[in-house]
Amino acid sequence: MKTSVENVADLCEFQEDNCKKFVDKIIKANREIFMMSFLLKKQMCGYDLIKDIFSKCDVFLSQGTVYPVLYTLEDEGLLHAEYSKGDMRSKKYSLTLNGREIAEKDVEDFVKALEQVSLLLKR
Amino acid sequence: MSLMLKNTINGLDKILFDEIPKGSVILVTGAEGTLKSGLVFSMMTNYIAANDEHGLYVTLEQNVESHLRNMNSLGIKEEGGLHIFDYRDMRLEWMDSELDLIKTTEEVIDSYKEKYDNLTLFALDSLNALYSISEHGNMRNKIYNFFSRLRDEELTSFLIMESAQSRISGQFSQFHQIEHFLADGTIELGMIEGKGGVKRYIQILKMRATKHAMEKHQLTIGDNGINILGPIY
């Protein structure tokens, strides 16, 4: 049984061309959850997140949509930010304990919601 | 208790007789050191503190920390509902890419509006910085669309623009005339040298659908923040 987080990654990696437009919409509309699910794996800066989401999901989240989410999550105490040692050019974000709990729960709920929607559509 | 923008600064109601209509786009112009950022930030924090609303202050000139240090030195305190966004991280991490800063600013506004339903105030500090790091091609159209977008979003917006005009010729440069034409209001801040030394002033040059004074009024900064005193003749 895969974990929820891996299921979200599956959604990204195995999308077929004809469902790309829907995956694109889903990821853009729910970018906060996707960004947190990527941050569950490792600490990242805004640039890394945009690059990783693009390479894994083939969806480009623009800078103006990613950085505000990072800053508001930091304000809410869900992310911790620090500059890399010796590199003041990139601010790396990691989930706080509270942020990790919320991210795991949200990702799990999100995957369930997608499964329910999928069942509803197949009826 | 709710507060109107015209009551956010001590004495502002001496020059602004009606409330600024929601969704107005207002230019705040003046030379360096005339308290443009301080006036706008002060109006926004006082408004947000008294009303259950959110605001977004986008700074291109400074990062959040230095902006707040600056504001604290003027006696203006931070307010939780006023979100400050700077471009420092984005510009450093995307150094090799060309960013369309007008489009990016619109996306930043959309992101905060998604998060906070009652985002009603917006400020950009400054238009000059935006121009200096943007592609100038088709800038008139971009600015026209940007202003329209702010109105459509019903954001009462303050666009800060440094201008050397008040000291030298009294004329705005041609490059900056478009903003004055498009804006719903223009507030000019400046300095006048008189017998008593140099005094700061505020003057409302234009404010659509709002009754206002035309005279220059003295602007001071005290322990309780910014104050507007009587007319300067």
Residue of chain A with shortest Cα separation from B107:
A64
Structural domain spans, chain A: 4-122
The DSSP line for B19-74 is PPPTT-EEEEEE-TTS-HHHHHHHHHHHHHHHSS-EEEEEESSS-HHHHHHHHHHT
CATH number of the domain enclosing B183: 3.40.50.300
Q: What is the pLDDT of residue B133?
A: 79
Minimal-distance CA residue of chain B relative to A30: B114
Task: Evaluate whether residue B85 is within a structural domain.
Answer: yes
Q: Residue B44 domain-assigned?
A: yes
Mean pLDDT by 10 residues, chain A (123 residues): 53 70 94 97 96 94 97 96 81 97 97 95 87
Q: Write out chain B residues lying below 8 Å of A69, CB-based.
A: 111
B223 touches chain A (CB under 8 A): no
Bridge-based pairing of strands A79-84 and A87-95 is: antiparallel
Position B207 in a domain: no
Chain A, residues 2-41, CB within 8 A of chain B, namely: none
Q: Which residues contact B176 (CB under 8 A, 6 or more apart)?
A: B161, B163, B165
**B4 at A interface, C-beta within 8 A:** no
B53 contacts B75 by C-beta, under 8 angstroms: no
Cβ burial B131-142 (10 Å sphere, 16+ → b, else e): beebeeeebeeb
Residue B3, in any domain of the structure:
no
- Name the residue in chain B with its Cα closest to that of A88: B92
Residue B209 lies inside a defined structural domain of this protein: no
Closest CB to B111 among A46, A47, A68: A68
A47 part of contact set with chain B, CB < 8 Å: yes
pLDDT by position in tens, chain B (length 233) = 567 999 999 999 999 999 999 999 999 999 999 999 999 999 999 999 999 899 999 999 899 999 999 999 999 989 999 999 999 999 899 988 888 899 999 999 999 999 999 999 999 999 988 888 777 678 888 899 999 999 999 999 999 999 865 443 444 454 567 888 899 999 999 999 877 789 999 999 999 999 999 999 999 998 888 999 999 87
φ/ψ of B178, rounded to 5, equals -60, -40
Six-digit token string for A30: 């729910």
Decide if B214 is inside a domain.
no
Q: Measure the CA dihedral B152/B153/B154/B159, to 10°.
A: -100
Query: What domain count does chain B have?
Result: 1
Q: Give the per-residue pLDDT at B29.
A: 95
A63:B90 CB<8 A = yes
Residue B219 lies in a domain: no
According to the model, what pLDDT value does residue B43 have? 97
Those residues whose C-beta lies under 8 Å from the C-beta of residue A66, and which sit 6 or more positions away, are: A31, A35, A46, A49, A50
Domain, as residue range, for B139: 22-201
Residue of A nearest to B110 (CA): A65
Residue B231 falls inside a structural domain: no
Q: Identify all chain A residues contacting B124, using CB atoms and an 8 Å cutoff.
A: none
Q: Which CATH architecture has domain A4-122?
A: Orthogonal Bundle (1.10)
Please name the member of A69, A89, A91 whose beta carbon is closest to the beta carbon of B111: A69
Q: 3-state secondary structure string, chain A? A: CCCHHHHHHHHHHCCCHHHHHHHHHHHHHCHHHHHHHHHCCCCECHHHHHHHHHHHHCCCCCHHHHHHHHHHHHHCCCEEEEEECCEEEEEEEEECHHHHHHHHHHHHHHHHHHHHHHHHHHC
Over its C-alpha atoms, chain B yields an Rg (Å, rounded) of 17
From the list B104, B106, B110, the residue facing A63 with the nearest CB is: B104
Bridge partners for B203 per DSSP: B188
